[in-house]
Amino acid sequence: MRRLFTDSATVHAAVTLLLVAPFFVLRDIPLYDLPNHIARQHILFGDGAPGAAQYYVAQWRLLPNLALDAWVGAFHHLVSVDLAVRLFLAATVTQLFWGAVALNRALFGPRSRFALVAALFAFNGPFLLGFVNLCFGLGMALWTMAAWIKWRDRGWALPLFAFLSCLILLAHLFAFAIYAVIVIAFELGELQHGWRAVRREFLALLHLAAPAVLYLGFMPREVTRGAIYYLPWLEKFGALRSVLGFYNPQFDVVCLALLLLGGLLVAARVQLARAMMLPLAALVIADIGLPHQLGEGTFVDYRMPTVLALFLSASLGWREGERRTRRVAESLVLLLFAFRMGAMLWQWHSWQPDFAQYRAAFAQLPEGAKLLPLAENPNALDPLQHPPLGHIAALAVSERGALIPDLFAERGHQLLRYREPRLFDLNPSAASAKDYDYVLLLNPAALDAANLPAYEPIARGRTFLLGKLAR
């Protein structure tokens, strides 16, 4: 048994199985934005949204936000849209873990397994919020950085990494920006004196020109549109707990404190890869300087702690002669990982009856129903809302082809648009009731009944009321 536990392949395989299990043992995956993403896939590629074509239309074009759409587009001929999405989510968390492992081995060789701690950061705050394209792109960036370190001096490196960096850009713009920052900082750290060395580093970075041309010449640049907004420093500091999750703040803070304490205890026994000092410093500067909102991108700075945690875990290695300490530390990391995964699975399983109530209620809607979701604050993100139901109305799009006003469409970084743009509304209110046939009241006890449109109840659940609007 001890030999199995200390075998690298066995440990990593077991971790991978635990990471992907939630996507195949549960009916509904409670990521905040996921219902909207799934609805989009059904409209673009599936037959699970009957009637939706009268409300939404695809606007096919190159975007720096296509990871999920490209994946489902490639796999929907072989499996259902639902299974393709589950495979994508499994590939995303697997990439985050194995990408960190690959980068760690590129820096230290197979003798170091410190990146095992990266498994704790796979179900991070941005992922639980449903930023799945971003997380998939970050996994690609980790893999590509590992390959860059090993192969950047090869004659064929330029076309290969030009292609890979374009794929990262297509997956997600923020992930490409992280990759570009890391690669540039890495090469600056490796820079030596002399014109020949400068020329070599310049040629090595030339592969970034390909995605730059792709973005500037052929993609919408939504980053330049909209407001720039900074969070107070205390809130920015509080976002550090997002490296472990979002929906259980106190639990995540305790786990993070244990992890930091363990890190302090073994600090003298680990080493930071010298080549990653400048890249990590660049990420810290980016974390400090990035706003919370940049153009159409929201939660911009919120993503950085996870990026730092993944690249830092990949950049640390055990010193020679620390085999016993390494085994003890890895055992504790695995115990914490198993405990957190078990707690998350139990919690997600306890939320399944709520999702089942919504499914049963939406089954009573006619195909192509016009559904108006109303909430006390449509844009509020409460980490203590269990389960996260901010975009649950999109389930009616996937299953009944419904019209809802706040689907991810009619925006610069999405493939969908509304056939009637006036129906798009990120903050739907009772004033829009005239355009709809049904209303979904989320947490109806928190709503002011006097300001609600007239309706006839047709279904109730623990967290909602579904009604037919009176005419």
Q: What are the pLDDT digits (tens) for 288-322?
A: 999 988 877 788 999 999 999 999 999 999 988 77
Question: What would the two tokens of residue 255 be?
Answer: 């786990």
User: What percent of the residues of the chain are helix, what percent strand, and what percent coil, each to the nearest 5?
Assistant: 60, 10, 30
pLDDT of residue 298: 84
Residue 173 lies in a domain: yes
Least confident stretch, 110-124, 221-235, 334-348: 221-235
Contacts of 449 (CB under 8 A, 6+ apart): none
pLDDT band, residue 262 (cuts 50/70/90): very high
Q: What are the pLDDT digits (tens) for 60-90?
A: 999 999 999 999 999 999 999 999 999 999 9
pLDDT band, residue 59 (cuts 50/70/90): very high
Q: Average the pLDDT over 139-157 and give the result.
A: 94
pLDDT of residue 203: 72
Q: Average the pLDDT over 182-189 and give the result.
A: 92
Using the predicted structure, report yes or no on whether residue 267 has a pLDDT greater than 70.
Answer: yes
∠ CA 200-205-208 to the nearest 5 degrees? 160
Q: Average the pLDDT over 361-385 and give the result.
A: 92
pLDDT of residue 192: 66
Residue 412 lies in a domain: no
Contacts of 331 (CB under 8 A, 6+ apart): 5
Whole-number Å distance between alpha carbons of 271 and 319: 6
Using the predicted structure, report yes or no on whether residue 193 has a pLDDT greater than 80.
Answer: no
Whole-number Å distance between alpha carbons of 317 and 323: 12
Using the predicted structure, report yes or no on whether residue 236 has a pLDDT greater than 90.
Answer: no
pLDDT band, residue 197 (cuts 50/70/90): low
Q: What are the pLDDT digits (tens) for 418-431?
A: 999 999 998 999 99
Q: Average the pLDDT over 355-383 and give the result.
A: 93
For 321, left (φ over 0), alpha (ψ -120 to 50), or beta?
left
Using the predicted structure, report yes or no on whether residue 143 has a pLDDT greater than 90.
Answer: yes
Instruction: Find out whether 300 and 290 touch, Cβ atoms under 8 Å.
Output: yes
Using the predicted structure, report yes or no on whether residue 194 has a pLDDT greater than 60.
Answer: no
Residue 3 lies in a domain: no
pLDDT band, residue 283 (cuts 50/70/90): very high
Using the predicted structure, report yes or no on whether residue 178 has a pLDDT greater than 80.
Answer: yes
pLDDT of residue 7: 59
Instruction: Find out whether 210 and 164 touch, Cβ atoms under 8 Å.
Output: no
Question: What would the two tokens of residue 448 be?
Answer: 């002011």
pLDDT of residue 23: 98
Using the predicted structure, report yes or no on whether residue 125 has a pLDDT greater than 80.
Answer: yes
Residue 20 lies in a domain: no
pLDDT band, residue 3 (cuts 50/70/90): very low
pLDDT of residue 44: 95
Q: What is the mean pLDDT of the chain?
A: 91
pLDDT band, residue 2 (cuts 50/70/90): very low
pLDDT of residue 224: 54
Q: By residue range, what is the domain housing residue 144? A: 77-346
| 446-455 contact pairs (CB < 8 A, 24+) | 446/376, 447/374, 447/375, 447/376, 452/374, 453/372
Residue 301 lies in a domain: yes
Using the predicted structure, report yes or no on whether residue 161 has a pLDDT greater than 80.
Answer: yes
Q: Which of 105-114, 127-136, 264-273 has the highest mean pLDDT?
A: 127-136
Q: Average the pLDDT over 318-338 and give the result.
A: 90
pLDDT of residue 4: 39
pLDDT of residue 1: 36
Using the predicted structure, report yes or no on whether residue 356 has a pLDDT greater than 70.
Answer: yes
Number of domains in the chain: 1
pLDDT of residue 85: 98
Residue 354 lies in a domain: no
Using the predicted structure, report yes or no on whether residue 195 has a pLDDT greater than 60.
Answer: no
pLDDT of residue 226: 63
Residue 112 lies in a domain: yes
